[in-house]
A and B are shown apart, each in its own frame.
Chain A
Amino acid sequence: MRQVVGLTSTYSSDEFGVCSALYELGGMVVMHDASGCNSTYTTHDEPRWYDQDSMIFISAISEMEAIMGDDDKFIEDLVQTANELKPRFIALVGAPIPYMMGTDFDAIAQIVEERTGIPSFGFMTNGMQYYPNGISMAMERIVDFYCTEKKETQQNTVNILGATPLDFSINGSVESIQEWLKSNGYTVNCTLAMNCSLEDIQNMSKASINLVVSTGGLKAAKLLESRFGIPYVVGVPYGKKFASKLLEKLKLKKTSLGWDRKQVKKEKHLALIGEAVTSISLACAMEEENDVSVIVLDPLNENNELYRTLDVYVPEEDDVMEQIKSVDGIIADPLYKALCSNKEFYPYAHVAFSGRIFEKDLPNLINTEMKRK
């Protein structure tokens, strides 16, 4: 059955991707939607919610406001709240109701910016796309606005792009990437967008290279390349051997994928389901240290520019079921186990899929031995 998720869960939406990407930057982020199901973001998809303050709000649009297209109330609420809280910026995040109403977020942001003097951005998310689209949109826009000046390039200085808890949880993986870079002679300039400030973003043009750790960071990396000529390497340093290969790519100072696209099927053949950059990196790490081939099944977006020869886009649950018929085992979030009853299943939690349910079981695999005993 097409376009039906019958046995598993669904991924976090694009609006939550924007919220996650902007969480630590000191802005006021407002999802324009009815109150209710958006609390999924705070209760499930945002591990920082209870420990770290952020100005994330829901506008709580009412039925009549939606029917009447009453933008004025939304604008008044935004202006009043912004004047009280004095955020660094204001982000307006779209959801299904304003999407169908045709709410013009850019125009509202323009009015709010004029009235408050605070930089304001409209994000045309709709809750029907997945979180990487939202992360991508937010990171590109914020870099575009704040990183405009070319600073003197500092050699062996790197920005990490695309880091959010939706892909990396808060299990120390992002800190481990930073440590790995430092231990290899790099200075970490800005990690977009965890442990990061707007000032860090303004200084991103100092970097000699960017490391893109999720698809959400790709557009910002391309922008920095076109604006300042900073090359980027795509990959996450999972495993010892793959991390070493990724390091060699960084040293070349050229835009490239962190992996070879040619892939050979081995006798032991596994599938890994998840976001393209993190999953391909992890698959490569496993292949480097074990006699196994691991194909990536990407349920989020068709990322042909990233896939190796056997990786594939699986937009539907049916596509996943079809693809896993021919593998010996599956590595995926535990909620995928329902599809894999007759196969070996290796749980690997993904916050963007199962929220915080399995958070404590999520291992930090950055620059660690991947050899299966």
Chain B
Amino acid sequence: MKKIAIYGKGGIGKSTIVSNLSVTLAKKGYKVLQIGCDPKADSTLYVRQGKPLNTVLAVMRTNNKDMKLEDVICTGEAGVICVEAGGPIPGMGCAGRGIITALEKLETLGIYKQYDFDYVFYDVLGDVVCGGFSMPMRKGYADEVYIVTSGENMSIYAAANIASAVQGFKGRGYATLGGFILNERNVKREQEKVEELVQDFESKLVGIIPRCDIIQEAEENKKVYVTYEQEETPCKSSLETLAEALIC
């Protein structure tokens, strides 16, 4: 089992990329788990194709004692197992602590043992803003961290922050930095800027996803792009290449 955490600036396309990777790998016959680590609980929305899913924290709040794995999982497209950590009431509580509690609960319930997963994706909210959001990269969770960025300055700045956090955890036995993923927004010198970032962290650029309007169209139709798009396109091909890069 390989566990991968995907980080990046809010709105940069992490959930879209993770969902497409999950479905791509599942279609190849791998057993895949996708865990949304965001209080909004929208990571797996399109993998589930509209099927409802109770978040881990919501079920814990009402029925912690008798809670079962089946209460918080949903089988999505191509057999991808979907989980959403969830979060506190908006504006209240502590979302970071919520992520820790939800991931610990999933482990206690035996999610990794009960299902023989080949790949686990943690789709993590925005930046590493507090201790809770570093949980998916801690020992026993993700093996590798990948950071999604565009060439926009704010996105690069966020990606650098996350990469610094991963490096700062050296010595703790945490996940290592696997590399960066460029999700193109068609800004000037985009690839060049991201490659500079990659060099700064002595890392690698593992994938480039070209801008594609059909992704939005697929999501409008509550579908994952790689399933919705029937033609072979550069974008589809790049997701396929990225999936191959992550599993090797």
Contact surface of A with B, Cβ cutoff 8 Å: 69, 99-104, 106-108, 110-111, 114, 302
Contact = CB atoms under 8 A, between A and B. Distances in A.
B46 interface: no
Interface stretch (B55-63, B92-100, B156-164): B92-100
A102 B171 contact: no
Contact of B138 (A107, A114, A302): A107
A104 B97 contact: no
B169 A107 contact: yes
Contacts of B172: 104, 107-108, 110-111
A103 B134 CA distance: 10
B139 A102 contact: no
Contacts of B96: 102
Given A102-B96, A106-B139, A114 B171 contact: yes
A69 B130 contact: yes
Interface residues of B, number: 17
Nearest to A104: B138
Contact of B134 (A100, A102, A108): A102
Contact of B131 (A69, A106, A302): A69
Nearest to B133: A102
B110 interface: no
Pairs of residues from A and B, 5 with the lowest C-beta to C-beta distance, nearest first: A102-B131, A107-B172, A102-B132, A101-B131, A102-B100
Contacts of A103: 131
B135 interface: yes
Given A106-B139, A107-B139, A101 B173 contact: no
A308 to B, nearest CB: 21
B146 interface: no
Nearest to B135: A102
A100 B100 CA distance: 10
B122 interface: no
Contacts of A106: 139
A104 B131 contact: yes
B169 A102 contact: no
Interface in B172-196: 172-174
Contacts of B139: 106-107, 110
Nearest to B138: A104
Given A102-B130, A104-B131, A111-B172, 16 more contacts: A69-B130, A99-B97, A100-B94, A101-B130, A102-B96, A102-B134, A102-B135, A104-B134, A104-B172, A106-B139, A107-B138, A107-B174, A110-B171, A110-B172, A111-B171, A114-B171
